[in-house]
Amino acid sequence: MNKWFGPGLTENDVTPEEVFLNRRTFMRAAGAAVALPALAGCDVGGGETKTVAGENALKPTPLEDIASYNNFYEFGPSKSDPARYAHRLTTKPWHVTIDGLVDKPGVYPLENILRGMEIEERIYRFRCVEAWSMVIPWNGFMLRDLLKRVGVKREAKYVAFETLHRPEEMPGQKVPLLKWPYREGLRLDEAMHPLTLLATGLYGKPMPKQNGAPLRLVVPWKYGFKSIKSVVRISLVAERPPTTWNLLQPDEYGFYANVNPKVSHPRWSQATERRLGEGLIGKRVPTLMFNGYEKEVAHLYKGMDLRKYY
Amino acid sequence: MVSGAIRQMIKAINQFTRRMPTWPIYFVVLAVIGWHFFMALTGAYRPDPVRMLELEYGLLALQLLIASLAITPLKRFAGLNFVKFRRALGLSAFLFALAHLGVWVALDMQFLFDQMLSDILKRPYITFGMAAFALMLPLAITSNDRLLRRLGGARWRRLHRLAYPLTLLAALHFVWVRKGVQIEPLVYLGLITLLLALRLPLSRRRVAQRAL
């Protein structure tokens, strides 16, 4: 069943996890527009920081900010709860069930999934539906590489994701604030988009537990709640899957949840955002269409009324 | 015997509070506002010091509103007399609300007036918060002896009944700002509902009957 992970390899051939997760590679052609700011941010050649297309190079938010301010209701509703309680989470061993309309369904150990995957660094904007944002240097691989490996059947139209449900380690799940387990979903073409990442770390380090270790989705042109954390199930399905926030408040949280400054959330105008990590007087900046990835993803939604499909 | 001891204690507390001045409350309020601002400025509230400031000031405003609503029931049902502190508590709540609003306008929205206006009109939680603040204004302005005398006791008291709806609005503002239905703001809402219910003629009559 797992033969596509490469024949004839033993445990000894596995790259030590630390080394593996720490590899910093730059992304390939598909995301050139994203890679440039990454290079600029790394100050290659000691030169001055370049601006790309008139926009300031993306300066990553400090790691301690990224790892201390999380919406991960499995550990509690306060943004400081995940950093406080996520250490309880056991992430080894970790299995991901891949099922539904796939050629090779199964319960895959995480090591098998990671074997042979190219871990890249991608510096993405991260825009929360609450109108704040960060810039996060993720490490991960393209979801489409995994989907190609397991073989997507022709009838599959959507991908559904589930977070771990383990109330004894995730105290927030003892309270029915959300309908557990947390669920998210993407249209297949969104899932196959080269920007869509399954992240295993950030800042070249293994993923902090409060950020969704050991494996989480990152869809940079959508509001943060779409980027489901601590994934244990990936199902290929024919119908649009139910998603957690959409089930709770459908008028506030759409299935698509594309970042769109022109479509307001009932609680927050989405026209502008505050970039965190810049202190008390950090500037409010205009929110970009598709969070700045319009060139890469706008074609996915051609002809759709984005006001209706928010 | 036990109730006698409690009565003694209540009497002692009342005697003590009678001697206490109210002006230090304002100093404490200003110090707390300054302290949180200092913490936010120096990085203790990272990564989102703006939201943290809004939250701290807003929560303190709500807590002080609740405290000021508790004065009457405490006196009526427990015999504890904190009435002399009510004005200071109400004005303190107003000062925190003012700081809360100031942070929103200057640091959060950064004077984007168009966006603020549409937020006030379109977003229920901001509408509620602004309405609560607007209702606080006449109460804060008339919270001094001169205007109390000019208005006359009856009219002044009628005006200050605005404290009831505005505290409810402030609590709803808190409930609504949270995503989903969360416990903490509902506890506040429940407490306020209880404090208001204690003022209903029905519960008053019942207590009066029990006293007979």
Contacts of A175 in chain B (CB under 8 A): 183
pLDDT tens profile B27-65: 999 999 999 999 999 989 989 999 999 999 999 999 999
- Quote the tokens at residue B6: 């409690």
* Structural domains of chain A in order of their starting residue, each with its CATH number: 3-301 (3.90.420.10)
Find out whether B91 and B24 touch, Cβ atoms under 8 Å.
no
* Subunit contact A280:B112, Cβ cutoff 8 A: no
Distance from CA of A122 to the nearest CA of B (A): 22
B146: number of Cβ within 10 Å: 8
Euclidean distance between CA atoms A297 and A304, whole angstroms = 13
- With CA atoms as reference, report the closest residue to A248 among A180, A306, A305: A180
Inter-CA distances, A145 with A115, A140, A148, Å: 12, 11, 5
Helix (H) or strand (E) holding B176: helix B163-177
Euclidean distance between CA atoms A273 and A286, whole angstroms = 6
Q: Which residue of A has its CA nearest to B127?
A: A267
Q: Which residue has the higher pLDDT, A207 or B7?
A: A207
Mapped onto helix, strand or coil, the DSSP state of residue B22 is coil
Mapped onto helix, strand or coil, the DSSP state of residue A152 is strand
Contacts of B107 in chain A (CB under 8 A): 280-281
Read off the pLDDT of each residue in A31-43 and give the average, rounded to a whole number.
39
* Subunit contact A77:B182, Cβ cutoff 8 A: yes
* Subunit contact A280:B177, Cβ cutoff 8 A: no
Read off the pLDDT of each residue in A280-290 and give the average, rounded to a whole number.
92
Rounded percentage of chain B residues whose pLDDT exceeds 70: 94
How many A×B Cβ pairs under 8 Å? Answer: 68
Q: In what order do the strands lie in the sheet with A231-237?
A: A106-109, A95-100, A231-237, A158-163, A183-187
Contacts of B49 in chain A (CB under 8 A): 279-280
Rounded percentage of chain A residues whose pLDDT exceeds 90: 73
Residues of chain A whose C-beta is under 8 A from some C-beta in B?
61-62, 64-66, 68-69, 73, 77, 79, 130, 132, 134, 175, 177-178, 248-249, 264, 266-269, 271-272, 274, 276-277, 279-284
pLDDT at B206 over 70: no
Q: Which residue of A has its CA nearest to B106?
A: A281
Read off the pLDDT of each residue in A8-30 and give the average, rounded to a whole number.
43
Distance from CA of A176 to the nearest CA of B (A): 10
Q: Which residue has the tokens 């042109």?
A: A221
- Quote the tokens at residue B197: 């219910």
Mean residue pLDDT of chain A comes to 85
pLDDT of residue A49: 34
- With CA atoms as reference, report the closest residue to A234 among A93, A103, A99, A105: A99
pLDDT at A82 over 60: yes
The DSSP result for A7-69, as a single string, is TT--GGGSPPHHHHHH---B--GGGHHHHHHHHHHHTGGG-PPP-BTTBPPP-PPPHHHHTTS
Contacts of A133 in chain B (CB under 8 A): none
pLDDT tens profile B132-164: 999 999 999 999 999 999 999 999 999 999 999
Euclidean distance between CA atoms B163 and B195, whole angstroms = 12
Find out whether B97 and B61 touch, Cβ atoms under 8 Å.
yes
The gap from C-alpha B192 to its chain's centroid, in whole angstroms, comes to 10
Helix (H) or strand (E) holding B211: helix B201-211
pLDDT at A163 over 50: yes
Euclidean distance between CA atoms B171 and B61, whole angstroms = 10
Mean residue pLDDT of chain B comes to 92
pLDDT of residue B123: 86
Distance from CA of A164 to the nearest CA of B (A): 20
Mapped onto helix, strand or coil, the DSSP state of residue A284 is strand
Euclidean distance between CA atoms A215 and A93, whole angstroms = 12
Choose the weakest-confidence range: A34-38, A152-156, A249-253, B119-123: A34-38
Contacts of B43 in chain A (CB under 8 A): 279
Band of pLDDT at residue A35, cut at 50, 70 and 90? very low
Inter-CA distances, B185 with A192, A273, B101, B125, Å: 41, 25, 19, 13
Find out whether B69 and B192 touch, Cβ atoms under 8 Å.
yes
Read off the pLDDT of each residue in A175-186 and give the average, rounded to a whole number.
95
Reduced DSSP (H G I as helix, E B as strand, rest coil) percent helix, strand, coil of chain B, to 5: 85, 0, 15
* Subunit contact B47:A62, Cβ cutoff 8 A: yes
